[in-house]
C-alpha cells in the first residue's frame, strides 16, 4: 500500500473489483477505499485508500460508528469463505482450536472488540494460551517435574503428612514448581533492550486500558480476556536482567496527562517485576543453597505465597490494572495538576472499596478483589480504609509497595514533586520500612537495580564499591565509588564511575555491610571523601 498517497478508483487495476459495503469502524481494513467523507478530517475524503493510521483516527471519533467503504471483492470472498469454515468448525464433531497467532500479533482494535464480542474474545483467549505455551516451551512439564523432585529431595520427611494434609502439600509443591519453571522460562525470552520499546508497548496498552475502564464503569463489559492480554503482552516482553530498563521505560512513559491510566500501568509493570524477582529469591532460598540443610515442609508452604506462576502474575496484573478505577469513576480524568484539595476534600478514601466492587462485578478472582480493597493498607496499621495490619490477599504486599513507590516517583496530584527512584527507595528504607513486606522491597531493589545510596555492591567488572549518588544523566542509574578490588584489597585512591555512561558495567550483587565490615574493617570512613 502506498502510504498516505490518495488513490482514486479509476486508477485501480482490472482485477481489483470493489464492492460498496458499510462496516463497523472497528472492522475497517487497511486498503479499504472511503466511500464517504469523514467529518473534520480534510484528508479523509471519499476515494482515500485507508492506511493504518487513518483507521485509528476514525476509530477514535465518537461521532462515527459505521463507515461506507469500497472493499476488494476478493477480500470479501475470502472473509465469507472463513465464515463458512467457522460454521463447519462449530457443527463438526472435532472442532479442534488451533490458534495461528500469538499475543504480539493482536492489534488494539481486536483487543478492544474482545471486550464485547464473543468471537473476538475467543480469539484473544487462544492467543493468550498460545503465547504462554510458547514462553513455557515444549519441555515445560518435564522441567516442572524435575524441579518438583529436586524440592522433594530438599525436604525433611513428609511421610507424617496424611489424607487431606498430604493432598494440600502436593498441590502446593506443584504450584511452587510451576512458578519456578515459569520464571525461568521468562529468562529464556528475548528481552527488550531499549526503554523506547517498553514505551511503545505501553503506549498501545494505554489506549486499550482507557477503553476497558469506560466499559467497566458503564457496566458494558462482557469479557475480560482483553485485559489479560495486556498483562501477557507485558510478561512476554520481560526477559532476564532488564528490570532496570523496564523501570526507566515505565518511568519515562508514565509522566503523562491521564494519571489513573499511567499510574496503573506503572504499578502493573512494577508489580510483575517484583513477582518475578520474588519467585527467584524463593528459589534460591529453597533450592540453591550451598549447604545441604533440609527444609521443613511447613516452610515451603509459607514461602509458596511468594512464588508466582503466570496465572498468578496475570491476576496480580489485573489487580494493578483495576485498583484505582474507583478514582476514574468519581473524578473522571485527573492529571498531575489536578488540585490536591479537590481530591482531599472528597471521598477519596472510598476508592479502594469502589474499585474492588468493579472488580467483583466483572468476575475477577476473589483475591484480586481483596488486594484492590487492601491497596492502601500498610503492615504497621497506618493505611486506609480500615487500618488493618495483616493482608487477606497474597497479592497485597506487592500491590501496596508498588502503589507507594509509584506515588513517590511519578508526577501526581498527591505530592509536590516526584523523587528519583533511588531517593524514593532510600526514603522508604529509612522512614517507611515497617509498612511493607521486606522481601518485597528487597525483590524490587534486586529486580530493578535501583540500589539505594549508601549500599555496598559488587560490580560486573569484579570491583566492590559504594553507591554514592544518582546519575544526573539517567535517574535510574547510579554513580559508584570504587573502593575495593574483588579480593578485597583497598584501592589507593577511590574512583567514581557513572553507570549511565558505562552501560557495560552492571551491579551484580548487593552486599551485606555487616559481613563486609568483618572482613575489611569499619566502613563508615568510606562514606566521606
Binding site for Fe ion (CB under 5 A): 324, 403
- Which residues is 69 bridged to in the sheet? 21, 34
Which of 245/267 has CB closer to Fe ion? 267
Phi/psi at 509 (5° precision)? -160, 145
Which of 374/403 has CB closer to Fe ion? 403
Core vs surface per residue 156-195: b (16+ CB within 10 A) or e: eeeeeeeeeeeeebeebbebbbbbbbbbbbbeebebbeeb
Place of cell 475477577: 364
Question: Smallest distance, Å, CB 359 to Fe ion?
Answer: 13
Question: Smallest distance, Å, CB 252 to Fe ion?
Answer: 19
Which of 178/404 has CB closer to Fe ion? 404
* Nearest residue to 322 via CA among 387, 239, 269, 261: 261
Question: Smallest distance, Å, CB 211 to Fe ion?
Answer: 20
Which of 110/403 has CB closer to Fe ion? 403
Longest dimension (CA), the chain: 86
Which regions of 210-357 does DSSP assign to beta strands (E)? none
Q: How do 464-470 and 507-511 pair as beta strands?
A: unpaired
Question: Smallest distance, Å, CB 383 to Fe ion?
Answer: 10
Q: To the nearest 10°, the Cα dihedral for 199, 180, 319, 301?
A: -160
Which of 277/324 has CB closer to Fe ion? 324
C-alpha cell belonging to residue 180 = 519456578
Question: Smallest distance, Å, CB 262 to Fe ion?
Answer: 11
Question: Smallest distance, Å, CB 19 to Fe ion?
Answer: 50
Core vs surface per residue 437-467: b (16+ CB within 10 A) or e: bebbbbbbbbbbbbbbbebbbbbeeebbbbb
Which of 258/403 has CB closer to Fe ion? 403
Phi/psi at 436 (5° precision)? -125, 160
Question: Smallest distance, Å, CB 491 to Fe ion?
Answer: 44
- Interhelix angle 163-186/118-136, rounded to 10 degrees, is 80
Which of 303/399 has CB closer to Fe ion? 399
Question: Smallest distance, Å, CB 435 to Fe ion?
Answer: 15
Question: Smallest distance, Å, CB 352 to Fe ion?
Answer: 6
Which regions of 323-434 does DSSP assign to beta strands (E)? none
The residues near 427 (Cβ < 8 Å, ≥ 6 apart) are 408, 419
Q: Omega into 300 within 30° of 0, i.e. cis?
A: no
Phi/psi at 22 (5° precision)? -110, 120
Which of 192/265 has CB closer to Fe ion? 265
Q: Which residue is nearest to Fe ion (CB)?
A: 324
Torsion sign (Cα): 400, 401, 406, 408: positive
DSSP 181-234: HHHHHHTTSPPP-SHHHHHHHHHHHHHHHHHHHHHHHTT-----HHHHHHHHHH
Question: Smallest distance, Å, CB 324 to Fe ion?
Answer: 4
Question: Smallest distance, Å, CB 349 to Fe ion?
Answer: 10
How far apart, in whole angstroms, are the C-alpha atoms of residue 227 and residue 210? 11
Amino acid at each position: 500500500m502506498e502510504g498516505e498517497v490518495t488513490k482514486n478508483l479509476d486508477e485501480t487495476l482490472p482485477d481489483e473489483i470493489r464492492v460498496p459495503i458499510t462496516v463497523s469502524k472497528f472492522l475497517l481494513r487497511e486498503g479499504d477505499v472511503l466511500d464517504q467523507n469523514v467529518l473534520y478530517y480534510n484528508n479523509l475524503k471519499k476515494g482515500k485508500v485507508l492506511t493504518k493510521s487513518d483507521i485509528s483516527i476514525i476509530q477514535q471519533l465518537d461521532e462515527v460508528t459505521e463507515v461506507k467503504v469500497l472493499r476488494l471483492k476478493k477480500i470479501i470472498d475470502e472473509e465469507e469463505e472463513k465464515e463458512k469454515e467457522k460454521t463447519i468448525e462449530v457443527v463438526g464433531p472435532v472442532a479442534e482450536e488451533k490458534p495461528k497467532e500469538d499475543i504480539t500479533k493482536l492489534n488494539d482494535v481486536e483487543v478492544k472488540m474482545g471486550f464485547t464480542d464473543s468471537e473476538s474474545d475467543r480469539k484473544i483467549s487462544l492467543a493468550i494460551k498460545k503465547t504462554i505455551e510458547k514462553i513455557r516451551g515444549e519441555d515445560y512439564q518435564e522441567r516442572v517435574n524435575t524441579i518438583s523432585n529436586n524440592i522433594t529431595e530438599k525436604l525433611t520427611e513428609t511421610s507424617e503428612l496424611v489424607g487431606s494434609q498430604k493432598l494440600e502439600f502436593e498441590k502446593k509443591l506443584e504450584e511452587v514448581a510451576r512458578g519456578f519453571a515459569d520464571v525461568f522460562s521468562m529468562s529464556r525470552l528475548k528481552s527488550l533492550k531499549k526503554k523506547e520499546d517498553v514505551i511503545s508497548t505501553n503506549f498501545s496498552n494505554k489506549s486499550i486500558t482507557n477503553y476497558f475502564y469506560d466499559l467497566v464503569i458503564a457496566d458494558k463489559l462482557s469479557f475480560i480476556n482483553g485485559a489479560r492480554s495486556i498483562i501477557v503482552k507485558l510478561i512476554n516482553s520481560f526477559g532476564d536482567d532488564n528490570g532496570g530498563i523496564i523501570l526507566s521505560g515505565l518511568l519515562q512513559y508514565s509522566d503523562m496527562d491521564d494519571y489513573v491510566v499511567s499510574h496503573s500501568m506503572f504499578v502493573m509493570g512494577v508489580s510483575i517485576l517484583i513477582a518475578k524477582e520474588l519467585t527467584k529469591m524463593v528459589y534460591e532460598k529453597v533450592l540453591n543453597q550451598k549447604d545441604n540443610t533440609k527444609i521443613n515442609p511447613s516452610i515451603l508452604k509459607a514461602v509458596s505465597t511468594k512464588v508466582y506462576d503466570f496465572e498468578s502474575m496475570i491476576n496480580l496484573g489485573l489487580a494493578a490494572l483495576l485498583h484505582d478505577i474507583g478514582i476514574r469513576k468519581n473524578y473522571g480524568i485527573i492529571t498531575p495538576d489536578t488540585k490536591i484539595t479537590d481530591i482531599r476534600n472528597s471521598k477519596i478514601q472510598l476508592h479502594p472499596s469502589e474499585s474492588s466492587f468493579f472488580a467483583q462485578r466483572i468476575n475477577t478472582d476473589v483475591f484480586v478483589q481483596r488486594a484492590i480493597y487492601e491497596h492502601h493498607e500498610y503492615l504497621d496499621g497506618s493505611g486506609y480504609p480500615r487500618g488493618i495490619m495483616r493482608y487477606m490477599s497474597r497479592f497485597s504486599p506487592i500491590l501496596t509497595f508498588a502503589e507507594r513507590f509509584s506515588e513517590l516517583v511519578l508526577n501526581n496530584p498527591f505530592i509536590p514533586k516526584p523523587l528519583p527512584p533511588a531517593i524514593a527507595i532510600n526514603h522508604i528504607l529509612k522512614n517507611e520500612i515497617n509498612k511493607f513486606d521486606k522481601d518485597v522491597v528487597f525483590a524490587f531493589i534486586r529486580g530493578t537495580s535501583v540500589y539505594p545510596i549508601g549500599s555496598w555492591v559488587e560490580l560486573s567488572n569484579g570491583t566492590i564499591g559504594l553507591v554514592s549518588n544518582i546519575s544526573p544523566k539517567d535517574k535510574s542509574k547510579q554513580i559508584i565509588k570504587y573502593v575495593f578490588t574483588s579480593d578485597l584489597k583497598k584501592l589507593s585512591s577511590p574512583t567514581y564511575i557513572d553507570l549511565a555512561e558505562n552501560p557495560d558495567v552492571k551491579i551484580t550483587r548487593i552486599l551485606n555491610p555487616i559481613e563486609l565490615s568483618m572482613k575489611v574493617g569499619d566502613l563508615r570512613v568510606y562514606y566521606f571523601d
